[in-house]
């Protein structure tokens, strides 16, 4: 008996599982990734799947400092919306997000934008 067919089947199963389960990813954001903008009144990340509000949010980092932002999930549950509690100073910011979708998978990511 050969091990090869079993390994091939396992590989196919992994691929199929990867395609069947959708994972949260950011489809658009405002400010856009790598954009340079005036201080934004809100930061919005739109996802490809509905979020579980209790487990989905983002942090806004200015270097190693956390910029204070109030983050909520939109009514349609597809977006994280963050409102800075005071205007953002000029500089580069990193949005570090984490999200749990209906399939309970936890995903995370980050992107940066610059305030001029
Ligand atoms: Cu998933």
pLDDT (tens digit, 9 = 90+) per residue, 59-97?
Answer: 999 999 999 999 999 999 999 999 999 999 999 999 999
CA–centroid distance, 8 to ligand 1, in Å, is 24
Quickly state the pLDDT bin for 2 (edges 50, 70, 90).
low
- Asked if the structure places residue 5 within a domain, the reply is no
CA 103–ligand 1 middle distance (angstroms): 6
With 70 as the cut, is the pLDDT of residue 22 above it?
no
Amino acid 97: pLDDT: 98
Residue 102 structural domain: 23-115
For ligand 1, the distance from its centroid to the CA atom of residue 77, given in whole angstroms, is: 16
Q: What is the pTM of this model?
A: 0.80
In a domain, 42, yes or no: yes
CATH code, 99? 2.60.40.1220
Q: How far apart are CA 5 and CA 16, in angstroms?
A: 16
In a domain? residue 37? yes
Q: Does residue 101 sit within a domain?
A: yes
Q: Say how far apart CA 89 and CA 29 lie, in whole Å.
A: 20
Provide the domain count of the chain: 1
Indicate the pLDDT class of residue 4, thresholds 50, 70 and 90: low
Give me the percent of the chain exceeding a pLDDT of 70: 81
Residue 20 is predicted with a pLDDT of: 45
Q: Are 37 and 87 contacting, i.e. CB atoms less than 8 angstroms apart?
A: no
Whether residue 12 lies inside any domain: the answer is no
Residue bearing the bigger pLDDT, 61 or 1:
61
Ligand 1 centre from 45 Cα, in Å? 18
In a domain, 50, yes or no: yes
Q: Does residue 7 sit within a domain?
A: no
| Residue 109 lies inside a defined structural domain of this protein | yes
């Amino acid at each position: 008996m050969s091990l090869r067919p079993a390994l091939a089947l396992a590989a196919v199963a992994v691929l199929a599982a990867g395609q069947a389960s959708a994972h949260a990813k950011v489809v658009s954001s405002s400010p856009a990734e790598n954009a340079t903008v005036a201080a934004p009144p809100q930061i919005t990340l739109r996802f490809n799947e509905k979020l579980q509000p209790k487990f989905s949010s983002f942090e806004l980092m200015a270097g190693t400092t956390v910029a204070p932002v109030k983050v909520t999930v939109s009514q349609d549950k597809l977006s994280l919306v963050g409102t800075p509690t005071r205007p953002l100073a000029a500089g580069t910011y990193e949005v570090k997000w984490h999200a749990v979708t209906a399939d309970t998978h936890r995903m995370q990511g980050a992107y940066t934008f610059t305030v001029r």
